[in-house]
Structure 1
């Protein structure tokens, strides 16, 4: 077959510098390789028994540090963490443009301390000495007492009587929280965690399982709540969630961490108690324990005065 010069396609010359630019643009569109440092962070998060909120905080703070520093772990020295703490304190700002609070700075430092302690233990060939040991936390003043007074607890019990569909569940919830449990611990409880007298907590913040004896009234309230669910047709087994949601989208499912907070906030609104949250009951439980311990060492005539001082 014969070709004429006119039938041949036009020849285009591509300068070498344009070809190099083409390959550079192609390379930049590809996904960057995974940061090997982040792989270690993910391994750390998987190996620790953190509550969901704590895990999110650790992930956020460690990601922030890796963005700030490009050094590999074995290259880091105490001075780098001192500089990073100065960065958190003096340069980083919140979305509102304000400096980080001391508590927020401490959260970042604590996450680094925990991670590098794990690194030294798990990978001593990479980091032989923990470079965060010399970094101190910011001094934060003690918060005001958050325990509930006797009058406020009475308001809570009265508010529970005014609830509708969630009355039995929320009453059982408050009874459990009043034994010092954290909201995250309540989320993990199953029907099998309750043997009629005790609650068994396999996963706690300290990674140590514990048994929580319940007061007689609390045992009865919890048993009545479970009996009510069976009467309503629910088939319970040992792995069924102890607390269930009444939300339209999650009805019958395990009551979530945020669901517990929402339920307690609603009780606070009815009881006219500002900023009521699940941890308020834990603080109250700790205060009561301390109060009874003190009362054991003082004369009965002074108990009323001590009770009053703790309630203020």
Structure 2
């Protein structure tokens, strides 16, 4: 389409619809279909900021991202438009309409995972952006009641097999022995990743960054202090220069040798030890369960035990107290009937 403005002698103006073509100057002005970028969901920007700014374990971060994206796909409302009733409707959606890959309804635990992600995110939003959300709209939505899972503690016999398996390791023996000793004091894998040489003062481990965002001191038993000291001395003998900011646990992987041991590296190391020990699906968190359970069986006050493990929720700690209460009840029974408690 051309228009001429004869009165002032201007050249013809050619109008080109912007949705038609785009000129590619790199090919001599040849025309190609225009690519119009999809607009970014500004709500997702806040989700990504939340995931970056919170100290979540990798698996938890992955789960939260999936669940929060599911919620954003369910509603087009902006955060300031959401009301408690919307979250009730979303919970109903999870219960009635969402299906697993096997076309089964979500389990109560899976529904709770989705709700927990929302609760954590909107709690953060209220703190980070009170101008957008002044009151947490997820407070009224309740988690589904599920049976409390038993503590996944390792038996004394399994722990012996783990320690024996360490003797079968090659290059990683020193590191993995120290790793098992640290895990046996209730640390999460994500917390171990952050530890530096300066975190160990010869007796205690200082954790400045934890899942609960509260610093924690972890006292080590004498044998573990010795193992950790020997590991650091071994690294010095290998020619490594250590300072307070050096990673406490290092990788032996060919591509990352000497770098900080990663979260996945910890899981891989423990999985390998489990194979050598003949313990199926051994994972780092089992050592944390074992530590918490043993504290209670030793008679440590639950409040003190929670402080040592870094549990802020009494409810989350309940699976360990159930185990210790059961053990105490069994012991009381044998004392009452005048028999020694049978050892398995």
TM category, shorter: 0.7 to 0.9
SS of the residue corresponding to residue 212 of structure 1 reads strand
Question: Secondary structure of 2:20's partner?
Answer: helix
Q: Is the 8 A contact 1:102 1:138 kept in 2?
A: yes
Q: What TM-score do the two structures reach when normalised by structure 2?
A: 0.76
Of 212, 217, 221, the match for 1:211: 217
Aligned residues: 292
| C-alpha contact (below 8 Å) 1:149/1:311 kept by paired residues | no
Aligned positions of 1:68-107 closer than 5 A? 68-107=74-113
Secondary structure of 1:293's partner?
coil
User: Structure 1 stretches of 5 or more lacking a match?
Assistant: 1-13
Task: Measure, in 1, the Cα distance between the counterparts of 2:185 and 2:260.
Answer: 20
Cα distance in 1, alignment partners of residues 47 and 208 from structure 2: 25
**Contact 1:291–1:310 at 8 Å: present in 2 too?**
no
8 A contact 2:20–2:34 mirrored in 1: no
Q: Secondary structure at the match of 2:46?
A: helix
Unmatched 5+ stretches in structure 2: 1-13, 22-31, 302-326
Is the CA contact 2:122–2:136 (under 8 Å) kept in the aligned structure 1?
A: yes
The structure with higher relative contact order (CA 8 Å, sep 6+) is: 1
Q: Which residue of 2 aligns with 1:8?
A: none
Task: Give the distance between the partners of 1:213 and 1:188, measured in 2 at CA.
Answer: 17
CA deviation profile, 1:279-312 (whole Å, cap 9, x unmatched):
11111101110001179xx99xx59979x99998
Pairing of 1:97-136 with structure 2 (within 5 A)? 97-136=103-142
> Does the CA contact (< 8 Å) of 1:201 and 1:211 recur in 2?
yes
Residue deviations 1:64-89, cap 9 Å, x none? 21111101112212222122112222
TM-score (normalizing by structure 1): 0.83
Quickly say closer, same or farther: Cα 1:137–1:85, change in 2 above 3 A.
Answer: same
Secondary structure of 1:29's partner? Answer: coil
RMSD: 3.2
Q: Deviations over 1:113-137 (max 9, x none)?
A: 1222232334334333322111111
Q: For residue 258 of structure 2, what is the aligned residue in structure 1?
A: 252
- The alpha carbon displacement at 1:57 in A equals 2.5
Match status 1:265 vs 2:271: yes
Q: Does the CA contact (< 8 Å) of 1:148 and 1:311 recur in 2?
A: no
Query: 1:54 maps to which residue?
Result: 60
SS of the residue corresponding to residue 243 of structure 1 reads: coil
**Aligned-partner Cα distance in 1 for 2:63–2:257:** 29
SS at match of 2:218: strand
Residue 293 in structure 1 maps to residue 299 in structure 2: yes
| Structure 1 counterpart of 2:147 | 141
Counterparts of residues 181-192 of structure 1 (less than 5 Å): 181-192=187-198
Partner residue, 1:4: none
